[in-house]
């Protein structure tokens, strides 16, 4: 049975190797990004170490920030963003406190999101606001799975993160056909290399299974492309500009979100 304690050496080793790679590259962007990881990874690990309360608190904070960033990309008004953030938080808390009522929480959140443009009588942009809000709710509510999955979710996070890093460097080095017009910088060579690295991490952590393998090899790249589609539609490079070297929080968890969704569907 995997635990947070058993993952600690892998997290520390990954951070150390990442720091060495960033230093050798002499690229300021990568050094700044590694500094963010050096702060963020211990916080995430600490939340998982605390157990369900810590993971739930982490999921709520991440959900609220990501909802605000997503709302900004989609051009949603402040009330729309606030209701979306509240709906995602409600789903996360419900899956922790009353797991049997999770579907009801999603339904209530969807009704609340629909109520904002309906009560405003927005016949011009109401449908767009409703569609964007429902997409955000479905996309971000998967964070509710973090607490039930526990250390397995943390292992998935490690594998997806390593896969993203390897895909970035391998794609630049190897080149080759583009993965999708949605993200011209991404190459099939990088995606396949990243998937192989992520599978290797799962094997090293003794959590390799068919659902986990499909999650990191298919779900993670698809999640990256999903956010690329949203950003292209918004004509934006990043989901936000507050996270040094990374843009926004949604830019860092896009792969994890769909990987979690795939894992839940296949488990």
Overall number of domains in the chain: 1
- Using CA atoms, how far apart are residues 214 and 93, in angstroms rounded to an integer? 27
Q: Is residue 92 part of a domain?
A: yes
Q: Is residue 100 part of a domain?
A: yes
The larger pLDDT score, comparing residue 105 to residue 167, is at: 105
Question: Residue 155's closest CA among 52, 2, 1?
Answer: 2
CB-neighbour burial class of residue 97 (10 A; exposed 0-12, middle 13-18, buried 19+): exposed
Q: Is residue 165 part of a domain?
A: no
Q: Is residue 41 part of a domain?
A: no
Q: Is residue 7 part of a domain?
A: no
pLDDT digits (tens, 9 = 90+) for 12-36: 877 787 788 778 777 777 788 788 8
Q: Give SS3 for 204.
A: helix
Q: Give SS3 for 15.
A: helix
Question: Residue 142's closest CA among 95, 97, 99, 109?
Answer: 95
pLDDT digits (tens, 9 = 90+) for 140-193: 999 999 999 999 999 999 899 889 888 888 888 888 888 888 888 889 999 999
Q: Is residue 117 part of a domain?
A: yes
Q: Is residue 210 part of a domain?
A: no
Domain, as residue range, for 129: 53-148
Q: Contact 84/136 with Cβ under 8 angstroms? A: yes
Q: Is residue 182 part of a domain?
A: no
């Amino acid at each position: 049975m995997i635990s947070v304690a058993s993952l600690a050496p892998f997290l520390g080793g990954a951070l150390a190797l990442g720091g060495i790679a960033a230093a050798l590259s002499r690229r300021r962007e990568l050094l700044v990004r590694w500094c963010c990881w050096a702060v963020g990874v211990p916080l995430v690990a600490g939340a998982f170490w605390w157990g369900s309360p810590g993971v739930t608190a982490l999921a709520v904070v991440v959900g609220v920030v990501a909802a605000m960033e997503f709302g900004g990309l989609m051009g949603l008004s402040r009330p729309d963003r606030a209701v979306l953030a509240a709906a995602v938080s409600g789903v996360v808390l419900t899956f922790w406190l009353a797991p049997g009522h999770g579907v009801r929480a999603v339904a209530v959140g969807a009704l609340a999101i629909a109520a904002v443009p309906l009560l405003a009588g927005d016949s011009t942009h109401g449908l767009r606001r409703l569609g964007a809000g429902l997409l955000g709710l479905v996309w971000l509510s998967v964070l509710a799975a973090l607490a039930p999955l526990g250390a397995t979710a943390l292992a998935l996070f490690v594998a997806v993160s390593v896969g993203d890093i390897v895909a970035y460097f391998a794609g630049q080095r190897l080149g080759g056909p583009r993965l999708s017009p949605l993200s011209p910088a991404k190459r099939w060579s990088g995606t396949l290399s990243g998937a192989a690295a992520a599978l290797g991490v799962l094997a090293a952590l003794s959590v390799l299974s068919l659902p986990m393998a499909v999650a990191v090899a298919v779900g993670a790249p698809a999640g990256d492309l999903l956010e690329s589609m949203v950003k292209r539609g918004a004509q934006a490079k990043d989901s936000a500009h507050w996270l040094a070297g990374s843009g926004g929080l949604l830019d860092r968890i896009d792969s994890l979100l769909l990987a979690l969704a795939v894992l839940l569907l296949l488990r």
